[in-house]
A and B are shown apart, each in its own frame.
Chain A
Amino acid sequence: MTVGARYIPGAPLAGRAGTGWSADTTRVADASRITPPVLHPSRGPINPVSIRVELDAGVPLARIESSTHRVKLGKDGPRKDVVELDDGVTPANRDFELAWTPAVQAAPRAAWFAEKRGDKTYGLLMILPPPEAGREGKRIPRESIYVIDTSGSMSGTSIAQARDALEFAIDGLSPEDRFNIIGFNSHARPLFREARPATRENRATARGWVGGLSAQGGTEMALALDLALNGSESGERVRQVVFLTDGQVGNEEELFRLIRAKLGDSRLFTVGIGSAPNSYFMTKAAAIGRGTFTYIGKVEEVREKMGALFAKLESPVLKGVRIEWPQGVSVESWPARIPDLYAGEPVVVTVALDRVEGHAIVTGMRGGLPWVETLALGAPAQGSGLGALWARDKIGSLMDAIREGASPEETRAKVVEVALFHQLVTKYTSLVAVDHAPARPAGADLKTAAMPTNLPEGWNYEAVFGAQQADVAIVGRLPQGATDSELKLLTGTILLLLAVLLFWMTHARRGRVATA
C-alpha cells in the first residue's frame, strides 16, 4: 500500500516531468514521476486506509487469513465472506495480503462467474486440479541459483528475512543438486565462480557467506541477472533461479528485456521480501521468467513460504494448459498463454464473450498423462467488477506488447479505449476529481505539490536516503531564518529603562519629602 523508494540507475537528465525526489535519468526516463517523497518516520504515519473485502470464492473454503494485518471475518449471505481490518484503519505503510485456501476435495473444483456489461459478458474461470495421488517419477537433479539483494533498501528486517530464507534453502539441497549464490548491491558477487555440488562442505561455506551479508549500496539488478541467467539450455538438469529482493528498482523495462533475452531454459522465481516489495516488477519478472512470485511479509513466515516454494519447485503439477471455448462464440481471454501450474495453484482465466452457452474444455499434461476437465458455461454465478478485471489483464498484455515491438501510438489508442469504457487508471488515463465548490480564487495560480508516502514498515530511513537526508527539508518548507533575539533585546532594553525610570522617580520623591 505504499511505494518504497526505488533505486534509480543512470545519469541525470536536464529537465523533469514530475515532482519526485529523483531527476529523470538516462536509464529511467520517468524517474521523477515514480519517486514520491518519503516522510521521515519521526513525523508519524499518514494516509490511513480501511479495507473491506467481500469474498465470493466460488468453492468451499478451508480458511481465510491475512499474514500482514489482523482481520475480522464475517458472513454476508450464504456465499460471501466479509473481511475487515481488526483495527478499522491502518497507515498505508505495508502491503495487505489476504490468502484463502479451498477445502480439500478429491473432485476438481471449478468456479465460473460472469457479469454482463454493454453487449459483452465478462467472466472469470477458475479450475483447481485435485491434489496428486502420490509423487510419481524420479526426482530430476536441479541446479539452483540463489540471487540475494543486499542493497540499502533491504536494510532492517528485509535482509534478516532474506538471510533466513537462504539458509533454509541451502539446508534443503541434496548432494546431487548443484547450487550457487549471487549477492548484489552496486556490484554483483557470486559465492563460487560456477555452480557447485551441494556437498556438506560447500553448504557450510555458503551458510557462513550468507551470515556475513549486510545491506547497503545501490540496486544494480541487471548485473546480478546477467550473472544468474546465462542463456544456456540443458536437458539433464532443471535450472531454477530464485531471486530474493524487494524489487525496489525504477528500471523495470530494462530488466524485463534482459530476462527475456537471457532466460534460456532457466526458470525465474521471484521472492518478494519486506513490507512493501515492488509487486509489479516481481510478478512480471516471474511471468517472463516462466516461474512464480512468492510474497513473504514477515520473518516468521520465511520457513513456511520458502518451504512451500521449494516443494513446488520439485515439479509442476500441470503443464501445457489450454482452454477450448465453444464453437461459434467470439472469445477474448487472458492470459494468452497459461503458465505451468504448481501444487495448490488454480488455473485462472478472465474472458470476454458475446454469448454465454456451451462448454469450456480445459486440457493439460499432469504427471506425464493427459488431463481434461469440462465446464458448463450456461449457468454462471453473478459476479461484479469482472469487466474491470478482464480489462486490466487486456491492458497489461497490450503494454507488454510494446516491449515486444508494438507501436506505442497504436497501443496507446487501444489502451485508452478499453480504460475509458471500464473506468481504469492506466499510464494514459487517470481519475479526475471535480470540486463543485471551488475554494481557490479564480485568478490564483495552481500549485503542484507532491504528497509524501510513508516509509514502508521495517525500513530504515537513513539506510535508504543516507544520514544526510535524515530530516528531508525538501518535503516541507524552506529553512526558517530568524531568531527572537531582536525581540528579546528590545523588550529587555525597554524593561531596563522602565526600571531605571521608576527607581529614579521614587528616589527623587523621597529626596523631595526629606527636604520639605
Chain B
Amino acid sequence: MHGAGALPRPDRQRLASAAALLFLLVGVWQLGGGLTIHAKARLAQVLVRGAWERTLAGESQAKPWPWADTWPVARLAVPGQDVDLFVLAGANGRTIAFGPGHMFGTALPGEEGNSVIGGHRDTHLRFLRDTKTGTVFHVQRPDGAWRSYRFEAAAVLDAEDLWVARQDGPTRLTLVTCYPFDALRPGGPQRYVAFADAM
C-alpha cells in the first residue's frame, strides 16, 4: 500500500511544504511588486493634484513631494472615459511612473505647437486602448485656461520614429504609449501613438 516513490512519505511531504512556502513567498513578492506599481501610479496622481492646485494659484514648478524632480505642467481630462490625469514635466522612465510625462523640447500642452506626452500603457494611458477617434480631450494649462483636442487618428510606430515630435505641424497633442497593450513584457520597440488636433 506504500507508493513506489524514491523518498519516504514524510520527506516527500516536507519537500512539498517547502516548495509551497517558497512559491507563496515569491508569489507574494511578485504580486506585491505589481500592485506597488499601480499603487504608486495612483497615489502619485493624488499628490500631483495638490501640486496642480498650487500651480493654478500661481506657484511655478510646484513639486508634488519635497524630493520630486518633476512638477505638473498640465491636466488632461477625457470626461466620457472617466480620465482625469496630471501631466508631469519630462517623459523619462522615473517620471512616468507617477503620471503621463511631457516630452521636453516639445510644445507645452495647451500651447501652440505639437505637445508630446508619454505614459504607461498599463497604468495612466491604458484608456487609449478603448478610445475611439472623434473623442475630445481637454487640457488645462497652468494659467487655468482649457483647450480642446479631437482624437483624429492613431498609429503603431517604432520607438525611433521621432518625426511625431516635430514642431512644424499643427497644434496637437501626441500621446505615446507602448504597444501591444496586453503584451506581458515591457520594453518592446513598438509605440502606439494617438494624434489629437486642437479644435
The chain A residues found within 8 Å of chain B, CB to CB, are 12, 14-16, 21, 23, 447, 468-474, 476-496, 498-500, 502-503, 505-506, 509-510, 513, 516
Contacts and interface: CB of A to CB of B under 8 A. Distances in A.
A510 B28 CA distance: 26
B9 A502 contact: no
Contacts of A488: 30-31, 33-34, 37
A479 B92 contact: yes
B44 interface: no
Task: Give the dominant DSSP class at B's interface.
Answer: mixed
- Of the candidates B30, B119, B177, the one having the most CB atoms from chain A within 10 angstroms of its own CB is B30
Interface of B: 1, 9, 13, 16-17, 19-24, 26-35, 37-38, 89-93, 96-97, 101, 103-106, 116, 118-123, 125, 157, 159-162, 164-165, 167-168, 176-178, 182-188, 191-193
Contacts of B1: 516
B9 A513 contact: yes
Given A479-B92, A485-B35, A506-B13, 6 more contacts: A478-B160, A478-B176, A479-B91, A480-B96, A492-B34, A506-B20
A455 to B, nearest CB: 15
B19 A502 contact: yes
A232 B20 CA distance: 94
B27 A495 contact: yes
Given A478-B165, A481-B191, A482-B121, A506 B17 contact: yes
Contacts of B103: 473-474, 479
A494 B35 contact: no
Nearest to A479: B118
Given A479-B176, A482-B178, A471 B92 contact: yes
A342 B122 CA distance: 70
Q: Which 3 pairs, one residue from A and one from B, show the smallest C-beta to C-beta distance?
A: A479-B118, A492-B31, A495-B27
A478 B161 contact: yes
B48 to A, nearest CB: 17
A487 B186 contact: yes
Contact of A482 (B22, B33, B177): B177
- Of the candidates A479, A496, A509, the one having the most CB atoms from chain B within 10 angstroms of its own CB is A479
Nearest to B19: A502
- Of the candidates B104, B118, B187, the one having the most CB atoms from chain A within 10 angstroms of its own CB is B104
Contacts of B182: 486
B184 A481 contact: no
Contacts of A487: 34, 184-186
B9 to A, nearest CB: 7
Contact of A496 (B23, B38, B178, B193): B23
A12 B114 CA distance: 14
Contacts of B31: 488-489, 492-493, 496
B29 A485 contact: no
Contact of A485 (B22, B105, B122, B178): B122
Contacts of A509: 9, 13
Contact of B104 (A23, A472, A481, A486): A472
Contacts of A485: 33-35, 37-38, 122-123
A510 to B, nearest CB: 7
A496 B29 CA distance: 10
A499 B21 CA distance: 7
B115 to A, nearest CB: 13
A29 to B, nearest CB: 15
A173 B120 CA distance: 64
A125 to B, nearest CB: 50
Nearest to A466: B104
Contacts of B177: 481-482
Contacts of B187: 480, 482
A498 B93 contact: no
B28 to A, nearest CB: 7
B20 A472 contact: no
Contacts of B90: 470-471
B17 A486 contact: no
A21 B34 CA distance: 38
B167 A23 contact: yes
A479 B24 contact: no
Contacts of A489: 30-31, 34-35
Contacts of B167: 12, 23
10 contacts: A473-B104, A474-B105, A478-B191, A480-B187, A481-B191, A486-B34, A486-B122, A490-B184, A499-B23, A502-B20
A496 B28 contact: yes
A492 B186 contact: no
A499 B27 contact: yes
A472 B91 CA distance: 10
A505 B16 contact: yes
A172 B197 CA distance: 61
A196 B37 CA distance: 67
B8 to A, nearest CB: 12
Contact of A474 (B19, B101, B106, B193): B106
Contact of A478 (B120, B122, B162): B162
A446 B152 CA distance: 28
